[in-house]
Amino acid sequence: MSEKIKIIEDGPYLVSPGVPLKINIIECAGDGLPEKWAEGKTYDTQGKPYALCRCGRSKTKPFCDGAHTSCRWNKKETAQNIPYMQSAQKCAGPRADLLDKEELCAVARFCDRHGQVWNLIEKDDETSLKLAIEEACNCPAGRLTVVKDGKVIEPQLPREIGVVQDPAMKHRGPLWVKSGIELEGAKGVKYETRNRMTLCRCGESSNMPFCDATHLRCPHMKGADE
């Protein structure tokens, strides 16, 4: 059976058995800017299907506890389901191009590390290109990708779901879905299968089911998962 996430109407994300679920932490350097991803614990999902909170109000995050039935949240899938390559903006550079689909931004901030990826891609030297690729590949949402010699450069990621933690912002982050796990909407719509995407789990995104960084303004997303 292929790994899949199914959105339950007005409810959680239902994940097929065997998809690993891990804590992923945005780790910052001394200057306060994100530098690398760190791994936390792996949840024991016992090889069974599991339901992940989508409304953000569960007391057992990242898992659903039924809270979605008794709170107000943005249940509706509002994202335009247009393939990335057809909807991303291109920033052309001398050595490679940067593709950018801004509405997918989860504000993980790796693109700010070395003077911003948009500036790096405009420079005509190998070091800047290397840093631009590194920053784009650290973007969990797949908002940013570098295209060189006609090839999209993607990081190698394990097939799993990361439960993002952002200790510098003192907030929980989205669900980081990696390596081509399928996503099906509540009404059966198939979203584009991608190497990276971030799903909203605060219940407040304006681009459901994708994260748009609203979680950083949500009191119920303060803190960290354990």
Chain positions contacting ligand FES, by CB under 6 A? 106, 174, 200-202, 204-205, 211-215
Q: Minimal CA–CA distance to 133: which of 124, 116, 146?
A: 146
Residue closer to ligand FES, measured from CB, 8 or 152: 8
Residue closer to ligand FES, measured from CB, 42 or 206: 206
CB 140 within 8 A of CB 108: yes
CB of 119 to ligand FES, least distance (A): 26
- Give the separation between CA 211 and CA 226, rounded to whole angstroms: 21
- Give the separation between CA 203 and CA 78, rounded to whole angstroms: 12
Residue closer to ligand FES, measured from CB, 5 or 120: 5
Residue 26's φ and ψ, nearest 5 degrees, are -80, 110
CB of 218 to ligand FES, least distance (A): 7
CB of 177 to ligand FES, least distance (A): 12
Looking up tokens 């910052």, which residue turns up? 28
CB of 120 to ligand FES, least distance (A): 25
Residue closer to ligand FES, measured from CB, 96 or 197: 197
Considering just the CA atoms, what is the radius of gyration of the chain in Å? 17
Question: What dihedral do alpha carbons 206, 52, 58, 56 form, nearest 10°?
Answer: -10
What would the two tokens of residue 86 be? 């057809």
Residue closer to ligand FES, measured from CB, 50 or 91: 50
CB of 211 to ligand FES, least distance (A): 3
- Give the separation between CA 15 and CA 189, rounded to whole angstroms: 16
CB of 77 to ligand FES, least distance (A): 13
Looking up tokens 């990081």, which residue turns up? 155
CB of 197 to ligand FES, least distance (A): 12
Q: Minimal CA–CA distance to 31: which of 94, 93, 113?
A: 113
Residue closer to ligand FES, measured from CB, 62 or 93: 62
Residue closer to ligand FES, measured from CB, 52 or 129: 52
Q: H helices within the chain, ranges in order?
A: 84-87, 117-120, 126-137
Q: Bridge partners of 24?
A: 39, 164
